[in-house]
Amino acid sequence: MEKLRLSKLMSERGLCSRREADEWISRGWVFVNGEQVKELGTKVFPDVKIEISEHAKREQARLVTVILNKPVGWVSAQPEKDYRPAIELLTVENYALTDIPRVKNPRALDNLAVAGRLDIDSQGLLIFTQDGRLAKQLIQPDSDIEKEYLVRVEGVRLKGEEHKKQLETLRGGVLELDGKRLKRAGAEWINDDQLRITLREGKKRQVRRMCELVGLRVTGLKRVRIGKLRLSDLPEGKWRFLEADESF
Question: Is 26 found in the same domain as 77?
Answer: no
Asked whether 133 and 17 are in contact (CB, 8 A), the reply is yes
20, 37, 61 — which closes off a domain? Answer: 61
Domain that holds residue 160: 147-226
Total number of domains in the chain: 3
* CATH code at position 123: 3.30.70.580
61, 90, 106 — which closes off a domain? Answer: 61
Catalytic residue positions? 119
- DSSP assignment, residue 95? B
- pLDDT tens string for the chain (248 positions)? 899 999 999 988 888 888 889 999 999 999 999 999 999 999 999 999 999 999 998 888 888 899 999 999 999 987 667 788 999 999 989 999 877 777 777 667 888 989 988 999 999 999 999 988 888 888 877 778 999 999 999 876 656 666 677 788 888 767 888 888 888 899 998 988 899 999 988 888 999 999 998 888 999 999 999 999 999 999 999 999 998 888 88
pLDDT tens, 164-206? 777 888 887 678 888 888 888 999 989 888 999 999 888 889 9
Question: Is 138 found in the same domain as 154?
Answer: no
* CATH code at position 39: 3.10.290.10
pLDDT tens, 97-121? 877 777 777 667 888 989 988 999 9
Asked whether 56 and 24 are in contact (CB, 8 A), the reply is yes
- DSSP assignment, residue 83? B
Beta-bridge partners for 189 = 195
Q: Answer yes or no: is 247 within a domain.
A: no
Specify the pairing of strand 123-129 against strand 216-226.
Answer: parallel
Question: Is 138 found in the same domain as 188?
Answer: no
